């Protein structure tokens, strides 16, 4: 655990020692980690707005249509595994106005967010937290047995909540308050991002052979798991990166972030990969609002949340 904590503070130093990745070039590894480009950013997409004040290690952004609000999880200063109570959820408008910087507090290192019927679900290290959106109050904190590093959250139409536990390479589920293991094993490629879509769980894999410092022997792929049979089907045949967030792009494909390499990717339904942006390390779990063509990107290492326009309204 200590090594993981230290690693988060070494990220900017490690970045300067790695070779750049050229446009269109597949991710490659250097000393078992995905090479990154931090000395040169290629952010050709126009910026709609950006928030920096009060932002501290933002990890996940999520747009809840019912409340017409953006929610952003902020890990705080204690690192991704720090049980220090300094984590919080922020509430923004789609125009980038801060509704409430510390909308809900008292969390440790909150990460993935997803809502269902007025409840916002949050992954917080080894707990699944439920929040009443209308009241802005925590409903419950459910302990997840043997959890090591809960990361992203997805909700099924029946209210089942799926949570990736990245380090032990498993996905747990919460149904009617009962937590069980949905799937587990190295074949899950240490899952990070999750998305429920058409009877499948879309999974963004971090990679295989993960180490305590989050490096991997092989980069991760985008794939799906059937919600009934749990059968795995690859979307990208080849490794695509140390994948973090995944959202539908509104065109039948997916917008996916590569946290370590700082990339934003568009992946088609047949696995074709297009690099949309090359940013600094720490491009985390994004939100995408198709009706606004708005990509909201937490930039975890840089302590900022940036919204980009992917098209015209």
pTM: 0.88
What is the phi-psi region of residue 220: left when phi exceeds 0, alpha when psi lies from -120 to 50, beta otherwise? beta
Across the strands, what pairs with 49?
A: 307
Phi, psi torsion values for 286, nearest 5 degrees: -90, 165
Cα 131 to Cα 154, 191, 289: the distances in Å are: 15, 24, 22
- Token digits of residue 174: 């919460």
User: What residue ranges define each of the domains in the chain, with the CATH number in brackets?
Assistant: 2-18+48-309 (2.120.10.30)
Across the strands, what pairs with 307?
A: 49, 296
Give the span between the Cα atoms of 39 and 278, in whole angstroms: 11
Give the span between the Cα atoms of 293 and 282, in whole angstroms: 22
Contact assessment for residue 99 and residue 114, using Cβ atoms and an 8 Å cutoff: no
Predicted confidence at residue 30, as pLDDT, reads 28
Cα 233 to Cα 58, 100, 183, 192, 196: the distances in Å are: 31, 40, 14, 16, 14
Which of helix, strand or coil describes residue 80?
Answer: coil
Across the strands, what pairs with 110?
A: 124
Q: Are strands 232-234 and 222-226 parallel, antiparallel or unpaired?
A: antiparallel
Give the span between the Cα atoms of 1 and 4, in whole angstroms: 5
The DSSP annotation for 152-212 comes to: EEEE-TTS-EEEEETTTTEEEEEETTEEEEEEESGGG-SEEEEEEETTEEEEEE-EES--T
- In order along its 313 residues, the chain shows pLDDT tens digits of 333 433 443 343 333 333 333 333 333 332 222 333 334 577 779 999 999 999 999 999 999 999 999 999 999 998 898 899 999 999 999 999 999 999 999 999 999 999 999 999 999 999 999 999 999 999 999 999 999 999 999 999 999 999 999 999 999 999 999 999 999 999 999 999 999 999 999 999 999 998 877 889 999 999 999 999 999 999 999 999 999 999 999 999 999 999 999 999 999 999 999 999 999 999 999 999 999 999 999 999 999 999 999 987 6
Give the span between the Cα atoms of 202 and 247, in whole angstroms: 9
Longest CA–CA span in the chain (Å) reads: 48
């Amino acid at each position: 655990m200590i090594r993981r904590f230290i690693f988060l503070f070494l990220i900017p130093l490690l970045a300067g020692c790695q070779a750049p990745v050229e446009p269109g070039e597949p991710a490659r590894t250097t000393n078992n980690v995905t090479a990154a480009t931090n000395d040169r950013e290629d952010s050709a997409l126009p910026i709609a707005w950006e928030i920096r004040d009060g932002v501290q290690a933002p990890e996940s952004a999520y747009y809840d249509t019912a409340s017409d609000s953006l929610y952003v999880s902020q890990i705080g200063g204690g690192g991704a595994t720090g049980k220090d109570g300094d984590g919080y959820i922020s509430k923004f408008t789609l125009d980038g106005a801060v509704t409430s910087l510390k909308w809900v507090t008292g969390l440790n290192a909150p990460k993935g967010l997803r809502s269902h019927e007025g409840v916002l679900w949050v992954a917080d290290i080894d707990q699944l937290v439920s929040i009443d959106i209308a009241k802005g109050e925590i409903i419950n904190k459910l302990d997840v047995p043997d959890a090591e590093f809960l990361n992203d959250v997805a909700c099924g139409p029946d209210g089942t909540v799926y949570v990736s536990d990245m380090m032990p390479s498993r996905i747990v589920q919460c149904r009617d308050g009962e937590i069980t293991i949905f799937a587990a094993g190295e074949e899950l490629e240490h899952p990070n991002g999750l998305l429920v879509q058409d009877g499948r769980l879309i999974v963004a894999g971090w990679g295989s052979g993960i180490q305590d410092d989050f490096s991997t022997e092989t980069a991760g792929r985008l794939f799906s798991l059937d919600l009934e049979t749990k059968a795995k089907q690859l979307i990208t045949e080849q490794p695509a990166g140390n994948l973090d967030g995944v959202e539908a792009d509104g065109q039948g494909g997916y917008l996916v972030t590569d946290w370590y390499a700082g990339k934003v990717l568009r992946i088609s339904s047949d696995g074709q990969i297009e690099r949309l942006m090359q940013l600094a390390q720490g491009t985390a779990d994004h939100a995408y609002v198709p009706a606004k063509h708005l990509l909201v990107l937490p930039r975890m290492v840089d302590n900022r949340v940036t919204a980009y326009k992917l098209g015209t309204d």
